[in-house]
Amino acid sequence: MRAVVQRVLSAEVRVDGKITGSIGRGLLVYVGVENFDVQPDLDYIASKVTGLRVFEDNDGKMNLNVREAGGALLLVSQFTLHGDCRKGRRPSFDKAEAPQRAGVLYNELVRTLRETIETAEGEFQAQMEVESINDGPITILLDSRKLF
């Protein structure tokens, strides 16, 4: 499982012109489910996202996680995080999990995160418009298989 995590001042997702999820200060998290991902992959991403110390403390040091900073999460499903562009010009998405299984794992990740922090989301498999105001900007890449 992969995630691109961006610290934001605000973010929202729209589907067919309607807002499906929005947050103020917090983390915008794009999530891609890979073939053969299992519960430990999901747990790794959930733990990392909620534990990342990317918010400033009173001394101006990035020392607080999203909960400690009073922020929220906005999750957006994005299979293209598993696009492989090493050959040719068209990305291969062979490593992205099939939609039915990916949806189950994505929804489980949302459920898991909602147990501990305010979590909004986009709509799985929908054409979405994502609008955000990045803060920093700070962008972190996560991979449950620790490829980077």
For residue 148, what pLDDT is reported? 86
For residue 25, what pLDDT is reported? 98
Q: The whole model's pTM is what?
A: 0.97
Q: Is residue 123 part of a domain?
A: yes
What would the pLDDT profile of 31-40 be if each residue is shown by its tens digit? 999 999 999 9
Domain total in the chain: 1
For residue 15, what pLDDT is reported? 98
So which residues are the catalytic ones? 78-80
CB count within 10 Å of CB 67 equals 16
Q: Is residue 21 part of a domain?
A: yes
Sequence-distant (6+) residues with CB within 8 A of 94 are 35, 84
Q: Is residue 8 part of a domain?
A: yes
What would the pLDDT profile of 123-146 be if each residue is shown by its tens digit? 999 999 999 999 999 999 999 999
Q: Is residue 56 part of a domain?
A: yes
Q: Which of 31, 27, 81 is nearest to 52 (CA)?
A: 27
Q: Is residue 39 part of a domain?
A: yes
* Angstrom distance (rounded) from CA 67 to CA 147: 27
* Angstrom distance (rounded) from CA 144 to CA 5: 13
What would the pLDDT profile of 73-102 be if each residue is shown by its tens digit? 999 999 999 999 999 999 999 999 999 999
Q: Is residue 116 part of a domain?
A: yes
Q: Is residue 148 part of a domain?
A: no
Structural domain range at position 56: 2-143
Q: CATH number of the domain at 67, please.
A: 3.50.80.10
What would the pLDDT profile of 43-74 be if each residue is shown by its tens digit? 999 999 999 999 999 999 999 999 999 999 99
Classify each residue of 102-124 as buried b or exposed e, where b means 16 or more C-beta atoms within 10 Å of its C-beta: beebbeebbebbeeebbbbbbbb
